[in-house]
Each structure stands twice: as C-alpha cells, then as structure tokens.
C-alpha cells in the first residue's frame, strides 16, 4: 500500500487555518502578531465565491487581472526597496491549504515600501504632485504558494504563485504612518512561477528541497526543518526583471482584509519541474473527505487462508479499498473586480 499511503499523506484537511495567519513572532512594539483566522472554516471548492464578510462585500479585493502595457508609472522615489534579507532556521509547513515557509531569524533586510504624506494607502489615491514620499520599513514574515496562480498577468495564469508576506516594522525606530502604529499594515510581493524550459530535467532548485520536506501533518506542530540550504536570500526568490505592478488590495484568503499594498512582478520565474509541480498540487488538494477507490494493480494484497490440519495453506487475492485525496488540486481565489482602483507600474 505504499502508493496509497503516500497519497493519503498528501491529502489536506479543508478546514485548517489560513496560511496568511500562522506567523507568530513579534512584529510591532505593541506585540501584535499574525494569528490563525477565527470564524467558520473555508475551502476553495467554489474559488472563494462563497466566502462571507469582507470577502463578499469589499470593493478592493485581490487578486486582480492587469496588463502591464499602458499602466501609469510610479515615481522612482516611490519604488519599494527589494532587499528583503537573509533568513535561517527555515521550516516547511502544511497549512491545510497549501505550502508555507517560515523562519527563526531574519538578517540584513533593508526592505521598505512607499507612502505619501502620513497615510498608508494614500499612494494609490491619485497624483503624487505636492506630496511627500516616505519609505517605511517592512519585515518579511513568511512566504507561501498558491496553485494555480491568483493574479492574471498579461492574460496568463501561471501554475504557481509565490506570495512573500511582510508587515510594517515598528521595532526599528524609523518613522511609520500613524495608522500602522495602531493596527497591522501588510504588504505582499507576488511572483508567478512557471515550469522550466525542460520540465523533466533533474532540478536542484530550492523548490526541490521544499518538495523533499513537505510535511504530512498540518500546522506548525507537523513542520519540517530545512537544514540545506541553511540560509536563504529572500530577494533570490524574485525574477531577474524587477518590474512590478502595485495596487491597493486585500488578503486573498478569509477574512480578505483590505488595505494590503501589493507588488506583483510582471516577469515570471521559470524553474519548476513537472514532479515539483505535481507534489505542490497534491498537498493543495481540496478534498473534504477521502473516498474508497480500487487499489492500483500492483497493490493487490494476497490474503493467506489458515493452514488446514495437514499443514497445507491456500492463498487468494482480494481487492482492497484505497483512500486517496479527492477534489481539485488548486488553492487560488477567483479574479476579483478592479472597480475604480488604479494599478501602477514600477520599473527599476
């Protein structure tokens, strides 16, 4: 039953907590943390169309579709600093909705995002004329994967989308907007990830290390530590072309909180193997239950009868039921209306 056991190990509970909310390290001077979302459980069975609350009523929701051609350019002094830092003590977590990586230590981060005047979202409200641009320090918290991608970039959906989640850091002594001192201000750096030019070639990328350490149990208690590589430069997860679209959006999972500053890179990375994609999709299965199915032919198990009084025995074969994950292997929310928002382009 080795194959069946492996498939069952990759089955994902559809009512686990959102990957956006696992990080629990101190983020702010007031000790605010990202914690598991409360309320009813949710899944991707309907692409998020059945999620309640702000997910249904909000008018600045993510993900969105955009074309990079013709977008208004944001000024060079209002460009995010993408020196995200080097992390160590990495852990792979099966969140119950997909794969997430967290870490124990972050060093050498100089990441910042822009604000106008003293308001977190003012940068998206219109012209930058006569407005003071300030850079605000942000601290990367974790990154996670969606299969398939959530943002529709230039008419294309990638097999995987990477989200590096960061929060305004109140611990550096640098200036931050008043509203970010009172509540958590989040930003996300998104990258589309495609298959490599030869998806069946051996891959030694970071993603192979992740796939080799995918947990079978959900939650932090079941996390697997990554010992190689011992460190990871988060900026290396970004594409070579650092042009990105930026807009005001939301979390793409419940509770779909708005006010998130998004940076979605236009150019994808092409580095996944077919086997890596298959493994990442398997852990994202939307099954709410396992069902009995016929075992693969190589897993028919002989049932040995009791020996008779003469010491003879007989054997017969029976087909046993095998538990397999069911449902679509996706964890992406449907594209949301842009409404009256402006999407800007930022080039290096």
Query: H or E segment at 117?
Result: none
Encode 128-144: b = buried (16+ Cβ within 10 Å), e = exposed: beebebbbbbbbbbbbb
At 123 the pLDDT is 83
Smallest Cα–Cα separation from 66: which of 238, 190, 183, 217? 190
Query: H or E segment at 37?
Result: none
Structural domains of the chain in order of their starting residue, each with its CATH number = 2-289+328-346 (3.10.200.10), 291-324 (no CATH)
At 127 the pLDDT is 59
Average pLDDT over residues 221-230: 92
For the stretch 241-282, pLDDT in tens is 999 999 999 999 999 999 999 999 999 999 999 999 999 998
Taking the C-alpha atoms of residue 212 and residue 176, their distance in angstroms, rounded to an integer, is 40
43 or 232, higher pLDDT: 232
The answer to whether residue 3 scores a pLDDT higher than 60 is no
Cα of first residue to Cα of last residue in the chain, in angstroms, is 53
Taking the C-alpha atoms of residue 82 and residue 273, their distance in angstroms, rounded to an integer, is 27
3-state SS class at 16: coil
- Strands 258-265 vs 186-195: parallel, antiparallel or unpaired: parallel
- Name which of 53-67, 180-194, 325-339 the model is least confident about: 325-339
Contact 249, 163 (CB under 8 A): no
The 3-state DSSP composition of the chain as helix, strand, coil percent (nearest 5) reads 15, 30, 55
């Amino acid at each position: 039953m080795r194959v069946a056991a492996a498939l069952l190990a990759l089955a994902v509970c559809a009512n686990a907590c959102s990957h956006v909310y696992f990080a629990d390290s101190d983020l702010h001077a007031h000790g605010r943390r990202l914690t598991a979302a409360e309320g009813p459980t949710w899944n991707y069975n309907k692409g998020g169309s059945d999620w309640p609350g702000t997910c249904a009523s909000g008018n600045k929701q993510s993900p969105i579709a955009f074309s990079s051609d013709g977008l208004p350019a944001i000024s060079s002094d209002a460009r995010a600093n993408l020196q995200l830092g080097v992390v160590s003590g990495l852990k792979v977590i099966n969140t119950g909705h997909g794969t997430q990586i967290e870490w124990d230590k972050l060093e050498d981060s100089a990441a910042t995002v822009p604000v106008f005047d003293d308001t977190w979202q003012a940068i998206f409200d219109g012209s930058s004329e006569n407005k003071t641009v300030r850079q605000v320090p942000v601290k990367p918290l974790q990154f996670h994967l969606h299969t398939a991608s959530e943002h529709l970039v230039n008419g294309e959906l990638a097999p995987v989308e990477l989200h590096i989640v960061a929060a305004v850091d109140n611990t550096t002594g640098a200036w931050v907007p008043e509203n970010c001192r009172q509540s958590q201000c989040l930003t996300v750096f998104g990258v589309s990830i495609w298959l490599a030019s030869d998806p069946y070639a051996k891959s030694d990328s970071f993603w192979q290390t992740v796939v080799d350490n995918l947990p079978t149990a959900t939650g932090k208690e079941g996390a697997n530590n990554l010992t190689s590589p011992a460190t990871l430069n988060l900026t290396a997860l970004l594409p070579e072309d650092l042009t990105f679209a930026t807009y005001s959006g939301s979390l793409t999972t419940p509770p779909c909180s708005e006010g998130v500053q998004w940076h979605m890179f236009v150019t994808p990375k092409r580095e996944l193997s077919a086997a890596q994609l298959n493994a990442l999709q398997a852990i994202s299965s939307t099954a709410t239950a396992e069902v009995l199915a016929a075992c693969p032919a190589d897993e028919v198990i002989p049932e040995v009868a009791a020996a008779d009084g003469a010491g003879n025995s007989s054997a017969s074969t029976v087909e046993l039921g095998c538990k397999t994950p069911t449902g679509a292997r996706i964890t992406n929310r449907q594209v949301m209306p842009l409404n009256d928002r402006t999407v800007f382009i930022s080039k290096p």
